[in-house]
Amino acid sequence: MDNMSVRPILEPATPVAGTTQPLKEGTILWDRYQLTEIVGQGGMGNVYRAEDLRLPGRLCAIKEVTPDTHLTVELREQAHQQFFQEASILAQLDHPNLPKVSDFFDENGRDYLVMDFVPGKDLKQLLDESREIGQQLDERIVISWSKQIIDALNYLHSRTPPVVHRDIKPSNIKLTPDNRIKLVDFGLVKLLAADEARTITVVQGRGTALYTPLEQYGGDSGHTDIRTDIYAFGATLYHLLTDYPPADAKARFLNPRTLRSPQQLNPDISSKVAEAILWGMEMHPDDRPQTIEQFAQALYGKITRPQPVAHGGVAQALRANWFLVLLALGLFFLAIALTIL
């Protein structure tokens, strides 16, 4: 499987209710990019495959961002200016595991981001194919993919200012025909502000619930940082190695037991990898690995997780240890009853 041959595949996207009406095939944008197919649809716009008419033979992926109709004219203009400012930051990124952003422009009231078109299948497709033949993805293969993802995240997080992806999931990670991993979809990238007190969204959007930590549920008002990516990456590994989507953060907050150990679902997962995944998916950011490199060291078995930091005072401690509390109360009342008798 290490030499897996993956043919480039591009299936027409299924229309999604409430999405922006896509442009027609053959439409030429910016007097340069001819749309050949729509490959993705969402509430914020569409993603197209296109041919670069100035560079014959070159294929691109064009991400379309439509204005929020609920915003005032002034706020729409601010969002438009922010798109151009932050798209220029994305265009400066250069890493072998990231698609290169080559252009950005606006046309007919919509903003567009032009990137390299990445052939191949995403990891969600590969996971589905393994399930269909009754197999699970091999840990060694998943870890080999992880090394490339870690390189990409380390590059993003070490930028000045740091760049946070905020939407890491199997369907946003592609495997090219030459077995190179590409972390795609910059739709939720964030730049950390200099004071680290807030983040600035690039190409507005939201994460996917199954892979989203609790602090991201606040949307743009929530404080997300590089540890947000670590949680999503851990949740992605959980799904790939167990073939079960992880319990979302809201469900885990109400009942911590909803998240089962990866080894319960797949006994073939090594203890070091299972422990690293659970560490990366800790509910509180302070309890997770603080850097992607620290997470990598745990994943490779070079370090073990420290004791979790206490948070939230007595109420949270009682909620997290409810069984022990009930047991202690039961023993207490039993002792009183025996004393009376």
Could you report the per-residue pLDDT of 123-149, keeping only the tens digit for each?
999 999 999 999 999 999 999 999 999
Structural domain count, the chain: 2
Residue 227: CB atoms within 10 A of its CB come to 24
Regarding whether 260 and 239 lie in a shared domain, the answer is: yes
Regarding whether 215 and 155 lie in a shared domain, the answer is: yes
Tell me the average pLDDT across 157-169.
91
Tell me the average pLDDT across 247-275.
96
Is residue 9 over pLDDT 90?
no
Look at residue 323 and tell me if it is in a domain: no
pLDDT in the model for residue 327: 59
Regarding whether 178 and 77 lie in a shared domain, the answer is: no
Model confidence pLDDT, tens digit, residues 61-70: 999 998 888 8
Q: Tell me the torsion sign for CA atoms 168, 170, 171, 172.
A: positive
- What is the four-CA torsion angle of 284, 206, 202, 234, rounded to 10 degrees? 40
pLDDT band at residue 11, thresholds of 50, 70 and 90? very low
Tell me the average pLDDT across 146-163.
95
Q: Which domain holds residue 231?
A: 121-314
Regarding whether 220 and 175 lie in a shared domain, the answer is: yes
Q: What is the CATH number of the domain that holds 128?
A: 1.10.510.10
Look at residue 300 and tell me if it is in a domain: yes
Q: Which of 116, 145, 168 is the last residue of a domain?
A: 116
Catalytic residues: 167
pLDDT in the model for residue 222: 60
Regarding whether 271 and 137 lie in a shared domain, the answer is: yes
Distance from C-alpha of 241 to C-alpha of 261, rounded to nearest angstrom: 11
pLDDT in the model for residue 2: 37
Look at residue 142 and tell me if it is in a domain: yes
pLDDT in the model for residue 203: 42
Look at residue 9 and tell me if it is in a domain: no
Could you tell me how many residues make up the chain? 341
Look at residue 38 and tell me if it is in a domain: yes
Look at residue 326 and tell me if it is in a domain: no
Specify which residues 110 forms β-bridges with: 107
Q: What is the CATH number of the domain that holds 80?
A: 3.30.200.20
Tell me the average pLDDT across 89-111.
94
Look at residue 23 and tell me if it is in a domain: no
Residue 36 — φ and ψ, nearest 5°?
-110, -25
Look at residue 1 and tell me if it is in a domain: no
Lowest average pLDDT, out of 153-157, 196-200, 240-244, 326-330, goes to 196-200
Higher per-residue pLDDT: 217 or 247:
247
pLDDT band at residue 12, thresholds of 50, 70 and 90? very low
pTM greater than 0.85 (yes/no): no
